[in-house]
Amino acid sequence: MAKLKIGVFGAHRGMTMIRELLRSPDAEITAICDKYRPILDKAGKTAEDAGLKVSLFESFDDFFSCDMDAVVLANYAHEHAKYAVPLLESGRHVMSEVLTCANLAEAVSLIEAVEKSGLVYQYAENYCFFNTTAEMRRLYQRGDIGELIYAEGEYVHDCAAIWPSITYGERDHWRNRKFSTYYCTHSLGPMLHTTGLRPIKVVGLEGQQADYMKKLGARSGSIAVEMVTLENGAVVKSIHGGLKREPSSVNYQFYGTRGSMETDRWDGQLHVWRETGGNGVGKHEKYAPAFALEGAAGTGHGGSDFFTTYYFIRSILGDEDAKKEAVDVYEAVDMCIPGIIAYRSIVEGGKTLEIPDLRKPEERDRFRGDTFCSFKEAAGDQYVSSVAAQWNATEVGDEVYEEVRRKWLAGEPG
Ligand SMILES: NC(=O)c1ccc[n+]([C@@H]2O[C@H](COP(=O)([O-])OP(=O)(O)OC[C@H]3O[C@@H](n4cnc5c(N)ncnc54)[C@H](O)[C@@H]3O)[C@@H](O)[C@H]2O)c1
């Protein structure tokens, strides 16, 4: 059978998918698009060194008209739905990097485009596929800790040192414009995928703008918390942002009716406590779970980067087991919109707000015109500043971005 023809849009993070695709027996990269020529050439050379002839494009429109069965979206985080919809309409399967959409109106359009196309849409929320998080999902689904009562997910990553190399001194780079609760996917996502439960309500909180990030041009609160209620009544805390801690902290804790499980905060192993007797009588176990598939060991983000590309290709080929493991469009939206609604909660002074179930067509109409977000081009007249009014923020001067750009070009840390 001919290999699937895959295009990759965005060659920075996209390089990870390019490397994974080069190892795939079922797919090959046929086109790569990035407007930044040096990174595009580097990606092209990686493919060429592996013996592939790949078409390189700086313009999305030229890339779009190329012959491809599927596209990996690794472009700007707030522009995934914008490109996913026309790609699906043109008959291409889509795998999208995080996040899903810029606002609720886009969430509705994306879901409807996926439904209409009948094609594979997969969300590359790789944090669901660490050895630990994948194991927690297996244990939870098997019933080891009973029904969820409370969980916490944490993604604390101080990006100050790498800020020049990930924002390039661009005032309008999405990382400088995102509101504090936007990037909730890595902390919230694995809790939803593990339990299969839908979020129904959220309250947002954020910490003050950190001076060390403001000096690098970031314009948002430093840390965000979403307190989310799930459909079974469980409460989960999702915390993410740039606090001072090395190495970065990616941790999850689950408490159920018959036990608990949590990642160790420093050694990355998994703790499980199962109540095996009466109340309080049980057994603790600590171990490093094996990966579900051999190919994962040694790949990016603790092996998780292997799974998203693997499941995407297998899902397109009709592998039902892969489809069950992967994150579909409904779950993708559930992993993203609580962050958008949490920011509305912050702006509205800490109100508890409902999270719609966009699986239901009758829920969608209310949100078709809801463009609330801090990305002007997607928000229109519902634009909201990424620095909540409570911080009385002053403008960040152009000299800040000039300095960050200088550091990026000189290869200096932030
Ligand atoms: N899942 C993870 O672990 C993980 C890690 C890093 C980044 N990401 C995600 O990957 C995506 C990309 O992030 P990044 O770190 O590569 O930084 P980035 O967002 O700065 O890079 C995006 C790349 O896409 C290119 N691009 C964007 N719009 C384009 C257009 N219209 N035409 C041509 N090229 C265009 C840019 O030139 C850039 O090289 C983001 O969505 C981010 O959230 C995910």
Domain hosting 274: range is 130-293+329-391
Residue 387 clears pLDDT 70, i.e. is over it: yes
What local confidence, expressed as pLDDT, does residue 299 receive? 87
Is residue 337 within 8 Å of residue 200, measured between CB atoms? no
SS3 of residue 395 by DSSP: coil
Q: Find the distance separating the first CA and the last CA of the chain, reported in whole Å.
A: 49
Nearest CA residue ID for atom 41, ligand 1:
77
The helix/strand count (H/E) of the chain reads as 16, 15
- If asked whether residues 210 and 65 sit together in one domain, one would say no
SS3 of residue 262 by DSSP: strand
In whole angstroms, give the CA distance from residue 114 to residue 116.
6
Does 400 reside within a domain? no
In whole angstroms, give the CA distance from residue 147 to residue 143.
7
In whole angstroms, give the CA distance from residue 38 to residue 129.
31
In whole angstroms, give the CA distance from residue 167 to residue 186.
20
CA 99 to ligand 1 center in whole angstroms: 10
Is residue 48 within 8 Å of residue 108, measured between CB atoms? no
Q: Which of 71, 97, 126 is at the close of a domain?
A: 126
What local confidence, expressed as pLDDT, does residue 389 receive? 67
68: phi then psi, degrees, rounded to nearest 5: -145, 145
CA 77 to ligand 1 center in whole angstroms: 6
In short, whether 13's Cβ falls inside 6 Å of ligand 1 is yes
pLDDT band at 392 (very low <50, low <70, confident <90, very high): low
Q: Which of 126, 149, 183 is at the close of a domain?
A: 126
In short, whether 74's Cβ falls inside 6 Å of ligand 1 is yes
- If asked whether residues 110 and 137 sit together in one domain, one would say no
SS3 of residue 56 by DSSP: strand
- If asked whether residues 35 and 53 sit together in one domain, one would say yes
- If asked whether residues 230 and 359 sit together in one domain, one would say yes
CA 8 to ligand 1 center in whole angstroms: 11
CATH of the domain at 152: 3.30.360.10
- If asked whether residues 90 and 144 sit together in one domain, one would say no
pLDDT band at 183 (very low <50, low <70, confident <90, very high): very high
pLDDT band at 294 (very low <50, low <70, confident <90, very high): confident
Residue 390 clears pLDDT 80, i.e. is over it: no
CA 167 to ligand 1 center in whole angstroms: 10
In short, whether 73's Cβ falls inside 6 Å of ligand 1 is no
Q: Which of 126, 145, 172 is at the close of a domain?
A: 126
Mean pLDDT of 23-47: 96
- If asked whether residues 149 and 279 sit together in one domain, one would say yes
CATH of the domain at 60: 3.40.50.720
Is residue 393 within 8 Å of residue 219, measured between CB atoms? yes
In short, whether 36's Cβ falls inside 6 Å of ligand 1 is yes
Q: Out of 76, 163, 167, give the residue to mutate to test ligand 1, the one with the largest number of ligand atoms within 8 Å of its CB.
A: 76
- If asked whether residues 374 and 270 sit together in one domain, one would say yes
In whole angstroms, give the CA distance from residue 247 to residue 311.
28
In short, whether 126's Cβ falls inside 6 Å of ligand 1 is yes
CA 19 to ligand 1 center in whole angstroms: 16
- The predicted-structure confidence for 320-369, as pLDDT tens digits, reads as follows 999 999 999 999 999 999 999 999 999 999 999 999 999 999 999 999 99
Q: Which of 128, 186, 153 is nearest to 311 (CA)?
A: 128
- If asked whether residues 114 and 181 sit together in one domain, one would say no
Q: Out of 40, 56, 97, 306, give the residue to mutate to test ligand 1, the one with the largest number of ligand atoms within 8 Å of its CB.
A: 97
In whole angstroms, give the CA distance from residue 161 to residue 165.
9
What local confidence, expressed as pLDDT, does residue 359 receive? 98
Q: Which atom of ligand 1 is nearest to the CA of 300?
A: 3
> Which of 171-185, 284-298, 320-334, 390-404 is the least confident region?
390-404
Does 258 reside within a domain? yes
Does 316 reside within a domain? no
Residue owning tokens 């809801």? 370
DSSP assignment of 146-202 = -SEEEEEEEEE---TTTHHHHHTT-TT-HHHH--TTTT-HHHHHHHHHHH-PPEEEE
In short, whether 166's Cβ falls inside 6 Å of ligand 1 is yes
Amino acid at 149: I
- Ramachandran class of 118: left when φ > 0, alpha when ψ lies in -120 to 50, beta otherwise: left
In whole angstroms, give the CA distance from residue 317 to residue 334.
26
In short, whether 37's Cβ falls inside 6 Å of ligand 1 is no
CA 58 to ligand 1 center in whole angstroms: 14
Does an H or E element contain 363, and which? helix 361-364
Does 299 reside within a domain? no
Q: Which atom of ligand 1 is nearest to the CA of 80?
A: 41
How distant is the alpha carbon of residue 273 from its chain centre?
Answer: 29
CA 119 to ligand 1 center in whole angstroms: 23
In short, whether 134's Cβ falls inside 6 Å of ligand 1 is no
- If asked whether residues 211 and 350 sit together in one domain, one would say yes
Residue 5 clears pLDDT 90, i.e. is over it: yes
In short, whether 97's Cβ falls inside 6 Å of ligand 1 is yes
- If asked whether residues 113 and 147 sit together in one domain, one would say no
In short, whether 180's Cβ falls inside 6 Å of ligand 1 is no
413: phi then psi, degrees, rounded to nearest 5: -75, 165
Please indicate whether residue 300 or residue 249 has the higher confidence score (pLDDT): 249
Please count the structural domains in the chain. Answer: 2
Does 215 reside within a domain? yes
> In whole numbers, what is the pLDDT of the chain averaged over residues?
96
What local confidence, expressed as pLDDT, does residue 403 receive? 98
Q: Which atom of ligand 1 is nearest to the CA of 174?
A: 19
Q: At what angle do helices 14-22 and 37-49 cross, to 10 degrees?
A: 10
Q: Which of 96, 95, 88 is nearest to 64 (CA)?
A: 88
- If asked whether residues 157 and 237 sit together in one domain, one would say yes
- If asked whether residues 108 and 148 sit together in one domain, one would say no
What local confidence, expressed as pLDDT, does residue 377 receive? 98
In whole angstroms, give the CA distance from residue 194 to residue 343.
25
